[in-house]
Amino acid sequence: MNTSKPAFAIAILLGSFVLVMTLQRAHAAEASSPAVSVTKDSQKNSGTAVVPSLYRLGPGDEIKVQQPNAEELDGKTARVNDEGFVNLPLVGRLQVGGLTIEETEKLVTNGLSKLLVHPAPVVAITEYRSQPVSVLGEVNTPGVIQLQGRKTIVEMLSLAGGLKADAGTTVQITRRIAYGKLPLPGATVDPQNEYSMARLNLSALLKGSSNPAENIVIFPQDIISVPKAETVYITGDVKKPGGFPLTNEGGLSILQAVALAEGLGPEAAPKNAKIYRDIGPDQPKKEIAVNLQAIMQGKGSDVTLEPKDVLFIPDSASKKAGVKAAQLALSAATGLAWRF
């Protein structure tokens, strides 16, 4: 009896089975290896700013599926549409919006299980397009920016059109605690342990006088808020009375304030200048006498103004009017109610 044909057929079947099992084991090993499993270090090297295990897919993101024993699908990419769906060969239309990579892999596995024995697909994010970062406050184009790739806070402010002329010297950053506590001095966590918050000396960072590490990498859903600069007021007999923002880290001196006000008026009495300083709610402003004439002549030390200070320079006729004259001058210059 000739048994060569049945034996040959059995050998082929056994060989096919071994080949399939080998491919599946190799693919499973790939999925657990650093080359495929994306860690924080590999994300840093690849130039992205997000940990994929925490990232949830959204519109515009692109994914790639690897499944070696499915040629139609292996290595194919698909982009998440506005409704959160992707179309994949062999699997069809899947809703992946809001899912993590691990959850997406399970969804693809379920779809492939109807066609393959023990499918083990590996899903990777090839393009990040749904990483909203809010840049608010005193920037030229405030709003939501989609974070694409690795971006620092300075780069994000640049993408928001840069700072306005009256931007303050600090920036407030808020981050979801799922991405870790902000790596900045003085960072705090809210009582619900949901957000980390910190202030950054933006003026020092832009001048290069702070620690370069403070130019931190921005993460999805971060909120960057640039407040308006505090203001000082120059009133009385100056050429351009009004409010001026404190945009310098070191504050504003009296001589700088007078220069911003384009100098003294023709009847100014600089010897009798005064600073009116806010010392607290429902408290009368503190009056500080300043001999501006001596300062201008180099015979006195310049004085740094504090936020909300009012520098009043009377003229020769009103120098005895004091507070009342300063109040009227400030109201005329700014149109604001001011209480002494």
Q: Tokens representing 112?
A: 């492939």
- Output the CA–CA distances (angstroms, integers) from residue 24 to 108, 121, 168, 272, in the order listed: 16, 10, 58, 89
Say which CATH number the domain at 136 has.
3.10.560.10
Tell me the average pLDDT of the chain: 81
- Residue-level pLDDT at 44: 37
In a domain, 330, yes or no: yes
Domain membership of residue 33 (yes or no) is no
Task: For residue 202, count CB atoms less than 10 angstroms from its CB and return exposed for 0-12, middle for 13-18, buried for 19 or more.
Answer: buried
| Residue 15 falls inside a structural domain | no
**How far is the C-alpha of 157 from the C-alpha of 140, rounded, in Å?**
9
Whether residue 114 is found in the same domain as residue 149: no
213 phi/psi in degrees, rounded to 5? -65, -15
Distance CA 47, CA 29 (A): 25
Question: Looking at 226, 242, 274, which one is the last position of a domain?
Answer: 226
Supply the pLDDT for residue 284: 86
Mean pLDDT lowest among 186-190, 243-247, 277-281, 326-330 = 326-330
pLDDT grade, residue 88 (50/70/90)?
very high
Q: What are the beta bridge partners of residue 286?
A: 277
195 lies in some domain: yes
pLDDT at position 327, please?
Answer: 55
Q: Is residue 14 part of a domain?
A: no
Claim to verify: residue 136 and residue 198 sit in the same structural domain: yes
- How many structural domains compose the chain? 3
Residue carrying structure tokens 């059109």:
161
User: Computed from CA positions of residues 249, 252, 255, 257, in that sequence, does the dihedral angle turn out positive or negative?
Assistant: positive
Evaluate whether residue 136 is within a structural domain.
yes
Residue 159 located in a structural domain: yes
Note whether residue 29 is domain-resident: no
pLDDT surpasses 60 at 18: no
Could you give the CA distance from residue 91 to residue 120 in angstroms, rounded to a whole number? 13
For residues 122 and 139, state if they share a domain.
no
Q: Are residues 123 and 152 in the same domain?
A: no
Q: Is the pLDDT of residue 118 over 80?
A: yes
Shared domain for 256 and 325, answered yes or no, is yes
- Percent residues over pLDDT 70 in the chain: 77
Residue 190 pLDDT > 90:
yes
CATH number, domain at 103? 3.30.1950.10
Whether the Cβ atoms of residue 147 and residue 75 lie closer than 8 Å to each other:
no
Contact yes or no for 4/11 (Cβ under 8 A): no
- Same-domain status, 262 and 176: no
- For residues 153 and 200, state if they share a domain: yes
What is the residue range of 302's domain?
A: 231-334
Kindly state the tokens that stand for 338: 């001011």
| Residue finishing a domain among 68, 92, 127 | 127
Q: Same domain for 236 and 327?
A: yes
Q: Domain end: 102, 127, 152, which one?
A: 127
Please check whether residues 256 and 194 belong to one and the same domain.
no
What is the C-alpha separation between 168 and 224, in angstroms, rounded?
13
Among 130-134, 234-238, 294-298, 336-340, the least confident range:
336-340
Q: Angle at Cα 170 formed by Cα 135 and Cα 308, nearest 5°?
A: 115
The verdict on 258 and 328 lying in the same domain is yes
